Amino acid sequence: MKRISITGSGSYVFEEFDAPRPRSGQLIIAPLRCGICATDMELLDGTMVYLRNGIATWPFTPGHEWVGVVVDAGDSTFSVGDLVVGECTIGCWDCPACDSGNYHQCPNRRETGLFGQGGALAEFLAFPARSTHLIPPSSPATLEDFALVEPTGIAYKGIQRLNMPKGQKILITGGGTIGYLATGAAQADWDAEVVFWASRPASCGRLEELGARPIGDSEKVDYIFDTAGTEKGFAAAFKHLNPRGRISSVSFTGKETIQIPIDELVTNDWDFYGSLGSPNVWPEVIELISAGTTQPGKLLTDTFPLSEYSGAIELIRARKPETAKVMIVPHPSKEAALAAASKFYDV
């Protein structure tokens, strides 16, 4: 069977590997859809913070935004044929951080497609059952929708960090995948009026299609969710934030440092939160997507088979205005995945 392996800065291979077998507490999953995000690109070019600080090392198989089908349930309560999604952060479940529910800060954690846990850019994936979530079989949502549960969870958690009451106005900076998903989540679960700052016209157009509008030049808000991770994005955020306002950020900047106006933060009594990952929100996000309340799959513009990963990377690097979300398709359907799995597993 085949997988993508990143071997160094800018280097990757499409390689053979042995069929994984489930250890206790593991499933074997055939990925059906896997998104490629900005973090994946930073992992590939070597700028991602986990590579810079030594938490992650090459080689590894990327892919943390995915949906798949169980082909070997091991000793779990899942069944062969179940559609599932899996969390990015996997705690040890035997430390104070995990005991308190903060498994995303577990000192012994693994992160899918980043370090310690292989990602979904592979034909088959061994994955812990405890970090796996079942997709409701009757849901009208698409595979493409469910492949984006993970980034939708990041957006959802970042908004949740603001402790924003329902019916408020929120500024979202950045119009990429997380900005788009945050707009839908804020409207659906917080009944929020969404205004945005984005630098790319195509991104602005997609956000306007969701009913958001550009923020006025002199307009102020109490709540900001940053997804841009750039100096221009932060400058826009702080320009529009009221005194005693709150901002949360999920952005990896790809840089060692970035300028933040600390004096203004202090004098305005601003609250500034970092928000890592998507812990403890997966059931809510799956329910949101399952009900069709938000449809993240509409962001998809291009798909490639696993063997054409290089083409997907070239397309993303081209930064064409019409390109939004790019996905890899390791198996085209649940039926095709189960048929392929029958060569290796009892399906």
Determine what percent of the chain is predicted with pLDDT higher than 90.
93
- 3-class DSSP state for residue 213? strand
What angle is formed at CA 305 by the lines to CA 302 and CA 309, rounded to 5 degrees?
80
Which of 292, 270, 244 shows the shortest CA–CA distance to 146?
Answer: 292
Q: How many CB atoms lie within 10 A of CB 136?
A: 14
- 3-class DSSP state for residue 32? strand
Question: Are 50 and 182 part of one and the same domain?
Answer: no
Q: Average pLDDT of 114-140?
A: 96
Q: CB–CB of 61/122 below 8 Å?
A: yes
Q: What is the pLDDT of residue 254?
A: 75
**pLDDT tens across 82-120, in order?**
999 999 999 999 999 999 999 999 999 999 999 999 999
Give the pair of three-digit tokens for residue 305.
């088979």
Which of 85, 90, 190 shows the shortest CA–CA distance to 144?
Answer: 85
Question: Are 115 and 177 part of one and the same domain?
Answer: no
Question: Are 288 and 270 part of one and the same domain?
Answer: no
**pLDDT tens across 281-336, in order?**
999 999 999 999 899 999 999 999 999 999 999 999 999 999 999 999 999 999 99
C-alpha span between 223 and 167 (Å, rounded): 12
Q: Average pLDDT of 112-140?
A: 96
Which of 310, 313, 306 shows the shortest CA–CA distance to 330?
Answer: 306
**pLDDT tens across 227-270, in order?**
998 999 999 999 999 999 999 999 878 777 888 889 999 999 99
CATH number for the domain that contains residue 184: 3.40.50.720
Give the pair of three-digit tokens for residue 329.
């398709």
Question: Are 270 and 294 part of one and the same domain?
Answer: no
CA 26 to the chain's CA centroid: 22
Q: Average pLDDT of 123-146?
A: 96
Q: What is the pLDDT of residue 94?
A: 96
| Domain edge (last residue) among 216, 241, 274 | 274
Question: Are 175 and 249 part of one and the same domain?
Answer: yes
25, part of any domain: yes
Provide long-range contacts, Cβ within 8 A and 24+ apart, for 257-265: 258/229, 258/230, 258/231, 258/234, 259/231, 259/234, 260/234, 264/238, 265/238
| Domain edge (last residue) among 228, 247, 274 | 274
175, part of any domain: yes
Which of 8, 185, 29 shows the shortest CA–CA distance to 112?
Answer: 29
Which residue do the tokens 């179940």 mark?
82
| Domain count across the chain | 2
Q: What is the pLDDT of residue 232?
A: 93
Which of 274, 258, 30, 57 shows the shortest CA–CA distance to 157?
Answer: 274
CATH number for the domain that contains residue 333: 3.90.180.10
Question: Are 12 and 119 part of one and the same domain?
Answer: yes
| Domain edge (last residue) among 254, 274, 294 | 274
Mean pLDDT for all residues in the chain: 96
> Residue 180 burial by CB count (10 A; 0-12/13-18/19+): exposed, middle or buried?
buried
**pLDDT tens across 336-346, in order?**
999 999 999 99
C-alpha span between 311 and 125 (Å, rounded): 23
pLDDT bracket for residue 168 (50, 70, 90) = very high
Residue 77 has pLDDT above 80, yes or no: yes
Q: Please give the order of strands across the beta sheet that includes 193-197.
A: 213-214, 193-197, 169-173, 221-226, 241-249, 271-274
Query: First CA to last CA across the chain, in angstroms?
Result: 17
**What's the domain range around 240?**
162-274
Q: What is the pLDDT of residue 252?
A: 79
- 3-class DSSP state for residue 201? helix
Determine what percent of the chain is predicted with pLDDT higher than 70.
100
Q: CB–CB of 337/343 below 8 Å?
A: no
Residues in the chain: 347
C-alpha span between 124 and 121 (Å, rounded): 9
**pLDDT tens across 12-71, in order?**
999 999 999 999 999 999 999 999 998 999 999 999 989 999 999 999 999 999 999 999
